[in-house]
Amino acid sequence: MNPRTITLHDCSFSTYICEEEIIARIVMLAEQLDQAYAGKTPLFLAVLNGSFMFTADLLKRISIPCEVSFIRLASYQDMHSTGKVKEILGLNEDISGRHVIVLEDIVDTGHTVHGLLKQLADRGPASVEVATLLMKPECLQHELEVKYVAKTIPNDFVVGYGLDYNGLGRNLRDIYKIVS
Ligand code: 5GP
């Protein structure tokens, strides 16, 4: 991949994870999930907006019977997590007795996933696991088991492939990191 620098609002970002690597990692994740959930007809719960590309590319590669639904939570302001847990919007399915797999774009402090898992547990699912495209282990502030991680990254702010910087960058096919 030729290094490329882009500008979004007031910040510069340079290429970091190319589309080929993203897809290769998603293919591996899909194989893992196919094996782990064979015979279970899992329900994927994709957290909008950031996970839309990840969800589409992952689900195309899942070959076991499954369902997918999209939910919405807190939005991310600038480059810092708000730490607030927001209510789940758009979850119309009855998840009791279901095997649920939450699809996240990125786990940073873990506040979002921690809050979400607590709320989902109250609805009586058979199991809940998290599959995330990216994870920043250095930033984690909760005891969270994120079982399925496509790639771990250091504490850099990234955009592209669904992830935005104040609304921009979600459409980029590669992932970029902020130029420090
Ligand atoms: P957490 O609650 O784990 O701190 O943050 C999770 C959410 O923050 C993600 O779903 C994502 O929307 C946002 N986020 C965390 N780190 C980044 C990042 O490096 N880039 C972007 N664009 N969003 C991030």
Q: What's the predicted TM-score (pTM) here?
A: 0.94
- Which tokens hold the place of 60? 């195309």
User: Which whole-number Å values give the CA distances from 101 to 83, 117, 147, 167, in the listed order?
Assistant: 22, 10, 10, 26
Any bridge partners for residue 160, and if so which? 163
Give the up-direction half-sphere exposure of residue 179: CA atoms within 13 A in the CB hemisphere: 12
Report the residue among 55, 163, 164, 165 best suited for mutation to probe ligand 1: largest number of ligand atoms under 8 A from its CB: 163
State the average pLDDT for the chain.
93
Q: Minimal CA–CA distance to 155: which of 171, 134, 133, 175?
A: 134
Q: Minimal CA–CA distance to 136: which of 100, 174, 178?
A: 178
Type of residue found at 94 = D
What is the C-alpha to C-alpha distance for residues 68 and 180, in angstroms, rounded to an integer? 37
Report the residue among 45, 48, 75, 81 best suited for mutation to probe ligand 1: largest number of ligand atoms under 8 A from its CB: 81
Pocket lining: 108 vs ligand 1, CB cutoff 6 Å: yes
- Report the nearest atom of ligand 1 relative to the CA of 163: 22
- Is the pLDDT confidence value at 179 over 80? yes
- Is the pLDDT confidence value at 128 over 60? yes
Kindly report the protein residue whose alpha carbon is nearest to atom 19 of ligand 1: 157
Q: Residues 108, 156, 164, 174: which is the catalytic one?
A: 108
The predicted structure's pLDDT at residue 87: 83
Instruction: Summarize the confidence of residues 32-56 as an average pLDDT.
Output: 98
The predicted structure's pLDDT at residue 81: 53
Instruction: Summarize the confidence of residues 106-127 as an average pLDDT.
Output: 95
- Is the pLDDT confidence value at 146 over 60? yes
Q: How close is the Cα of 179 to the center of ligand 1, in Å? A: 17
Pocket lining: 104 vs ligand 1, CB cutoff 6 Å: yes
Which of 1-15, 28-42, 66-80 reaches the highest mean pLDDT?
Answer: 28-42
- Report the nearest atom of ligand 1 relative to the CA of 110: 3
Confidence of residue 73 (pLDDT cuts 50, 70, 90): confident
- Is the pLDDT confidence value at 76 over 50? no
> Catalytic site residue 108?
yes
What is the C-alpha to C-alpha distance for residues 160 and 42, in angstroms, rounded to an integer? 28
Instruction: Summarize the confidence of residues 119-129 as an average pLDDT.
Output: 96
- Is the pLDDT confidence value at 21 over 60? yes
Provide DSSP, the chain: ----EEEETTEEEEEEE-HHHHHHHHHHHHHHHHHHTTTS--EEEEEETTTHHHHHHHHTT--S--EEEEEE-PPPBTTB--------BS--S--TT-EEEEEEEEESSSHHHHHHHHHHHTT--SEEEEEEEEE-GGG--S-----EEEEE--S--EEBTTB-BTTB-TT-SSEEEE--
Confidence of residue 50 (pLDDT cuts 50, 70, 90): very high
Instruction: Summarize the confidence of residues 9-33 as an average pLDDT.
Output: 98
Domains and CATH numbers, the chain: 19-153 (3.40.50.2020)
Pocket lining: 169 vs ligand 1, CB cutoff 6 Å: no
